[in-house]
Amino acid sequence: MATLRLGDTAPDFTAVTSEGTLNFYEYLGDSWGILFSHPADFTPVCTTELGTAAKFKDEFDKRNVKMMALSVDGAASHLEWIKDINETQNTEVNFPIIADVERKVSDLYDMIHPNADDTLTVRSVFIIDPDKKIKLTLTYPASTGRNFYELLRVIDSLQLTANHKVATPANWEHGEKVVVSPSIPTEEAKGIFTKGVEEVKPYLRLTPDPSA
């Protein structure tokens, strides 16, 4: 197991999930992907996270993103837990949860951090592009639930910057001004970004979101 870094190819696997046996690459198809792990079934923070992820599915669908979760318990346990998630979070879990009892996928993605807990997965997130390259990794401790608005925001940034020579500034959200890539001289940028280029400093040029 090697640490996975940005730009690495996301390893493929076939795993038992709450929706049957699935091959990861086949499941993703040409979509973007979010693979995210949870410490264990029937735990409070995880219950809120999976419910939140389910409620965000429409937003992920709009961005062509498919979700797959992982927990180190078995499929029968996942199915029982899903009933609780649906009941308590007022939703329907609408993506598969890997039943990683043998820790195969957890090991492949280095989701167990022995100095935090040597048996349970931490809260890892991998965002994967349609070429199966890893575009973002996040690692949260068990005690901190993730922010799914942030995952949507990062997806918006990744999809924008994949198609335009821009970067997104601190706390950027879809529709706000973006930064012109440093590799483009300002005069050239004015020809590319027809909505206008504001030169705050020679190295800091802003332009309206080209996708908005």
Q: Which residues are catalytic?
A: 46
Nearer CB in complex with ligand BEZ: 45/138: 45
43, 94, 137, 161: residue in contact with ligand BEZ (rule CB under 6 A): 43
Specify the DSSP element, H or E, that contains 14: strand 14-17
On the 0-12 / 13-18 / 19+ scale of CB atoms within 10 A, 45 is: middle
Q: How many residues bind ligand BEZ (CB under 6 A)?
A: 8
Q: Which is nearer to ligand BEZ, 3 or 143 (CB)?
A: 143
Buried b (16+ CB within 10 A) or exposed e, 177-210: bbbbeeebeeeebbeebeeebeeeeeeebbbbbe
Of 42 and 149, the one with the shorter C-beta distance to ligand BEZ is 42
Q: Are strands 204-207 and 178-180 parallel, antiparallel or unpaired?
A: antiparallel
74: CB partners within 8 A, 6+ apart? 99, 101
Residue 46 found at the interface with ligand BEZ (CB under 6 A)? yes
Distance CA 26, CA 13 (A): 10
- Please report, as residue ranges, which positions from 136 to 175 form the binding site for ligand BEZ (by CB under 6 A): 142-143
Nearer to ligand BEZ, 50 or 189 (CB): 50
Distance in Å, CB of 46 to ligand BEZ, minimum:
4
State whether the Cα torsion 152-154-159-165 is positive or negative: positive
Smallest gap from Cβ 45 to ligand BEZ, in A, equals: 3
Question: Binder to ligand BEZ among 3, 20, 26, 44 (CB under 6 A)?
Answer: 44
User: What residue type is 195 in one-letter code?
Assistant: K
Shortest approach of ligand BEZ to residue 122 CB, angstroms?
9
Residue of 8, 16, 45, 177 interacting with ligand BEZ (CB under 6 A): 45
Residue 39 CB, nearest distance to ligand BEZ (Å)? Answer: 4
In angstroms, give the least distance from the CB of 111 to ligand BEZ.
13
Considering the complex, state which of residue 106 and residue 168 has its C-beta at the smaller distance from ligand BEZ: 106
204 near 167, Cβ under 8 Å? Answer: no
Residues that bind ligand BEZ (CB under 6 A): 39-40, 43-46, 142-143
